[in-house]
Structures are given as C-alpha cells and as structure tokens.
Structure 1
C-alpha cells in the first residue's frame, strides 16, 4: 500500500460471502438426505429440519449484532491512500479459506441423514439464509447512514475472517458510491444503456 494506506474489505461482503455456499450445500444435502428413511423416518426428519432451518436462520441473523453496531459507531473515514478490495476478491478469499469447513459441514449434514433425514442439510441451509439476512441488515444500516462499512484486511485472519472479531478495533467508512458492491454486499447493478 502506498503512503501508509490500508487494504479494506467490505463488511457486508465478508458476511454475505458464506451465504450462497452454505445455502447450496444445505439444499443438496437435504435433497440427498431425504432419500434414506433414517432412524426417525422422513416425516419427523423433514419437520425437525424445518424447525432447525428457522432457528438457525434466526440465530445467525441476530448473532453479534451488538458487536457490529458498537464497532460501526466509531467509524472513521477511509483515507486517501486506502485501497478498496473488490467484491470478487473478498468473496474468493472467504470461500478459499473456508472450503474445508464447508466440505466437512456438507459431509456431516449428509451423514446425519441416516439418523434424521434432511435435518442436517436444512440446518446448513438455514445458516446460509441467516448470513444473507445479516448482510441485508447491514445494508439497511449503510443506506440509512449513507456510509459503506469497511474493515482492514490485515485484521481479518487468513481465511477471510470475521469482520466483528476481537482483532477488529474499528471500521472505516466511505460514501455509498465507493467500491463495486451495493449496500448489503450484493453486486452493484449498473444502469442499462438507453
């Protein structure tokens, strides 16, 4: 980084990076997992899985909101020489750092289907849905405050990190037009040429 600038990653993008892989791993594990009758039977497995989906989505969406709000209160403006990391780079870093955990979670969800059909996959899908809800909450906060939230890349661990972890001391902010991701971490939509 030139002249003391820092590499910055979008907080909402880091949060949202795990949503799609967890969701799709969960959906595939649940779809395959409904095939064996399991110990409990399919009906109990699917009903239990639906309850696990709702609970995990709610818990993940609400978890650590206080910490996010606390570190967002002291947001400082990003410096002139700070480098804003692309959305694709942030997502790739998170997914590369967590690929073995995702594979292990998929295998565990699939294996649990022999006891409780589809429940493990639905739990995994609920976790992905919860991350998407948390990113949406961050996006609403960014729109209201007209400030995109960024975290220093070196404060995230090598696996893409946790933007609300104890290593994160404060966040940086930019205007809503900065970077290539919209508030909430989604791809920025470009206006169609007329």
Structure 2
C-alpha cells in the first residue's frame, strides 16, 4: 500500500513465525486424535513414521529459501522516514485470516490420514510449524547480529510470502523499531 512516499512494511520474522503456532498445535491435536484410531498400519508404526516425518518436515521448512532470505538481507536498504511499520498483531491476524482454510484442510487431512497411518501426518504438520519457528529464530539471530530489523513491503509479501517472487527487496530499521523482538516474538516490556 504505497501512497506518495509512504509504504506499509511488515516484519519478515513475524510473517514467517505467524504460521508456526497454529500449524504446531493443529498438528499436535490431529496427531492426538489420530492416536485414538487404530489405523491400517497400527499405532506403533504410525508414531515412528510420524516422528520421522516431524524431523524431516521441521528440517526442510527451516532450511528452505535461506539463501533468498540472506540475499535480500544483504541488499536491504534503510526504511524511509515516512514508512508505516505494521504492528505484530496486525501481521499475525492478516496471515492467519488469509490461511485459515489451509489450516482447516491440514487439520482434517491429518485426522483423515490417521485412518491409514495413525498420527503420522499430524506429527508432520507439527514439524512444519516447528520448522517455521526455527526459521524465525534464525532470522532473529541474523537481526541481532546485524543490529537491524528486516521489513518487507506488505504489497510485495502479499498474504505471507516474505521471500516470494514478488519481493524486490527488504528494508531495515534499528532493533528498537516496531512492537516485536528480533525473531518475531512479542517484545518483553
């Protein structure tokens, strides 16, 4: 949303972290419900497969597109005086509102797949949430090391793609800007 020289900026780490909590808890809940179902393969195989899927999903989600994040962070420019910094709560609410149906589909798929392999898909969903959290922590370490918070224009990030094809660059501010700590977590007062 650019007007004149003003642009609305959202925190990169907050956008990344926005999906971690709902994905993790929906995954845990669907895995728990899935454990109540015997499934075709049995509970033991389902839990072992789910543990492997959790680790693989967490690693893949945490590591994917790191090069793109690094490249944009290295080339980031300073935010302008009149740029509007979006609150953490607004960014979280926008992401969750835009992805609510995907979250419902993931939850239902986690339960439905438990008829075949109990709890496995739910644990994979929880792993994806953990991977997003790990990626946000990695971004936070970079922000602390550079002493600069990374921001992306809201019109480029769309509904939650801070490293997508539409992104043409990041902006930076000091670590005191905004209402979120480095890494996208709530700032302690």
- Report the TM-score when normalising by structure 2: 0.98
1:115, distance to aligned residue in structure 2 (A)? 0.1
Q: Secondary structure at the match of 1:8?
A: strand
Separation in 2 of the partners of 1:3 and 1:165? 25
Q: Secondary structure at the match of 1:4?
A: coil
1:62, distance to aligned residue in structure 2 (A)? 0.3
Deviations 1:83-102 (A, max 9, x none): 00000000000000000000
Give the aligned length: 188
Equivalence map 1:1-194=2 (5 Å): 3-157=4-158, 160-190=159-189
Separation in 1 of the partners of 2:35 and 2:70? 40
Q: Secondary structure at the match of 1:113?
A: helix
The answer for unaligned runs of 5 or more in structure 2 is none
Separation in 2 of the partners of 1:3 and 1:154? 15
Deviations 1:142-185 (A, max 9, x none): 0000000000001122xx22000010010000000000000000
Deviations 1:34-55 (A, max 9, x none): 0111010000000000000000
Q: Which runs of 4+ in 1 moved over 6 A?
A: none
Separation in 1 of the partners of 2:99 and 2:9? 20
Check whether the contact 1:2–1:81 (CA below 8 A) recurs between aligned residues.
no
The answer for unaligned runs of 5 or more in structure 1 is none
- Report the TM-score when normalising by structure 1: 0.95
